[in-house]
Amino acid sequence: MTLQSATERLDAAVQLLEDRLENRVRALRSEAAALRLERDTLQGQLLEAMNAVRPDLEEANALLQLEVEEMAKAHDALLQKYNELERQHAALEQRHTELEQAANEALARVDRLISQLDAEPVEAAEA
């Protein structure tokens, strides 16, 4: 092969390589453009979906807030009821203690009366 023909073949091979590279670059650019278009479409759909869901989320949030407030009111009412029951329990314990003391005092009086009766002569009891 002559230098001339080798150079021509090399030139043709380089030209073929450049053509293939240009075609590949064009294909990649086209694919990148298609991907950008798909990305933009998906971002638009996502934005639409978020805007469509937002009112539902806001409504659900408002309802949840109302429920939390109602639960807080119920909790406060239960706390007040508990405190009232605690006061009643303390009063009942106090009353129980007073009644127990009165019963013990009454029992002591009865015991004294029985002791007094036992100490009296039997004849006095018969008369």
The pLDDT value given to residue 1 = 82
CA distances in angstroms from 101 to 108, 111, 114, listed in the order given? 10, 15, 20
Task: Give the residue carrying structure tokens 């453009």.
Answer: 33
The model carries a pTM of 0.46
What mean pLDDT is reported for the chain? 91
Q: In this predicted structure, what is the pLDDT of residue 80?
A: 96
Higher pLDDT, 45 or 55: 45
Cα separation of the two ends of the chain: 167
- Which residue type does 43 have? Q
